[in-house]
Every structure is written in structure tokens, then in C-alpha cells.
Amino acid sequence: MQSDQYSYFPILMQLILAVGFVVGTIIVSGKLGPKRNSEVKDKNFECGIESVGNARIPFSVKYFLVAILFVLFDVEVIFLYPWAVNFKELGIEGMLKMIVFMSLLLVGFFYIIKKKALEWE
């Protein structure tokens, strides 16, 4: 039987190899890669469209609010999968807990609809 100090050795080796590969690749590409700078290469470029104007324009708070709400409800829906997989084993107690969970989720959803957080202007 292995002792506990050797049971994590493969994980440690994989971590060292992964970090070593990343650091080594960055160092080697920095030393061997071409270093030609020009006005065209140093120009800001995004998605095939040339940048126009200042990049520091303010975003609407609605944009961030919708993004946060999407992530929040998306993560909450992820909890439905393990519940559905173990539905029979959880029994009536699991069903009642899921009803409470979904009720709270729907109350939050109706609240943001009432506050018109998802409507664009």
C-alpha cells in the first residue's frame, strides 16, 4: 500500500510539467520570434474593423446588468441537471426543495421583469 505522501506525486508532476511548458513556451517564443515593429503593426485592430474614436467611451449600466443577470440565471439553471439525474433517489424531500428553489428563482425573475431590467431603450 502506498503512503499518503506519494499519492499526490502524479498530480504534482503534472502541475510542474504544465507550468514548465507554459513558461518555457513564452520564453522561447519571446527569444526566437521576430521583433519587427511598424506603425501598421502597432495600430489597434479588433474584429477586422479599424478603431475609430476613443476607446474610453462609457457603456450603459444596462449592458452590465443584463450580463450579470444572464450569468446569475444561467448558473442557477445548471443546478437543475444534477437534480434531474438524481430525481428518484431524492424522493419527495428533493421535490419539495426544488419547488422552493424554483419558486425563489421565479420570484427573482419576475422582480427583474417588473423593474424592466431586461428592456433596452
Cβ-defined contacts of 43-49 (< 8 Å, 24+): none
Q: What mean pLDDT is predicted for residues 1-25? A: 86
Cβ-defined contacts of 62-69 (< 8 Å, 24+): 62/117, 62/120, 62/121, 65/117, 66/117, 66/118, 69/112, 69/117, 69/118
Tell me which residue of 33, 52, 34 sits closest to 43, measured CA to CA: 52
Q: What is the mean pLDDT of the chain?
A: 85
User: Residue 14, SS3?
Assistant: helix
Q: Which three cell numbers stand for residue 21?
A: 511548458
pTM of the model: 0.49
Cα of first residue to Cα of last residue in the chain, in angstroms, is 67
Q: In this structure, how many other beta carbons lie within 10 angstroms of the beta carbon of residue 8?
A: 10
17-65 pLDDT tens trace: 999 999 999 999 989 988 888 887 777 766 767 667 776 777 777 888 8
d(CA 55, CA 49): 13
pLDDT of 2 over the 70 cut: no
Instruction: Give the per-residue pLDDT at 3.
Output: 61
Q: Tell me, what amino acid is at 46?
A: E
d(CA 110, CA 115): 9
